[in-house]
Structure formats: structure tokens, C-alpha cells
Amino acid sequence: MTLYYDEVETPVGTMLIVGDGENIVRVEYGSFQSMNNKMAAWVKRYFPDRSFVHSPEQVEQAKQELQEYFHGARQAFSFPFKFHGTPFQKQIWQALYDFIPYGETTAYKGIAQAIGNPKAVRAAGGAVNKNPLSIVVPCHRVIGADGKMIGYGGGLDKKEFLLALEKTISSG
């Protein structure tokens, strides 16, 4: 299988976009070079016989929509994407995508409740941490039950930036 990728410069740094020719399968902070090690286990598990090809045209729509998001012209993404993870992870990621509106936040408990399993708060947190589609699946909108900023794979500075951007645009 061939995976296509390109990078896009954003206000929070370089972002890597990876697609399979039909769907976007990964949006990560960092360049292809810097992310190769981080993605290695994930890629090995879900795409064992793969090769990577730098192909801007294969991920152009996602790149364009991310740029629109950062310019305040897009609040939802329309490019096709596909989750690769465990069934539970996919359920959590879909809930993140469906449940948290642009410019709003929720706690892990809210995500666990959204999937009908209110006791799965810790497991939901683990799945949120493995989100392969940063920004698109808005894990940056998940905060602590006490309203404080808590961990984010891209770093708390990026999470705070994204939340501030969305708050400015949605209240604008």
C-alpha cells in the first residue's frame, strides 16, 4: 500500500498530512522527517506493507481546509478521512468529531457519556491521547473536569492557541 503525504505550515508549526489515496489517515504536528519515529508503530500495525510517497496533490484538499481553519474561514472539515485504531478508539474519536462543537470544550467524562459508557473516563482519555487526526478530530477541545488545560499531544501551547482561535472566531 502506498501512503501519500505532504506538510503544511501553520501558526502552530509544521503539520504532516498522510492519506491512502482515498482518505486522510493522519494529521500530526511536525514534519515527515521528525514524525517518522513517532508514527512507526502505528504505521507498522495498520499499514505493514506500505511505502511513503511525497505527493502534495493527494492531500491537497486537507491541506487547503487546514489553512482555511487557521484563517478563521472553516469550522468543520469536509475532506474524507478514515480512522485506524481499535474499535473503542474509533468510537471515542467519532464522538470527539460529532460531540464537541467548534469553539466549545468538554471533559473526558463528557466523551465517556457521549458513547454511553460514563465509567470509561480513563479509557476515553487514553483513546483521546492516540487521536491520529489532530485538529480535524478536535481532541484539543477536551479539558480537565475542573476546567483546566490538561495534556495535549501537540503541547499545551498549541492547545491554548487552538482554543483561543476558535473562541475568537465563534464569538466574533
* Tens digits of residue pLDDT in 5-27: 999 999 999 999 999 999 999 99
pLDDT digits (tens, 9 = 90+) for 52-107: 999 999 999 999 999 999 999 999 999 999 999 999 999 999 999 999 999 999 99
Contact 4, 20 (CB under 8 A): yes
Catalytic residue positions, numbered: 139
Residue 32: its H or E element: helix 32-46
Q: How far apart are the first and last CA of the chain?
A: 44
What does the buried/exposed string (b/e) look like for 14-36 if buried means 16 or more CB atoms within 10 Å of the residue's CB? Answer: bbbbbbbeeebbbbbbbebeebe
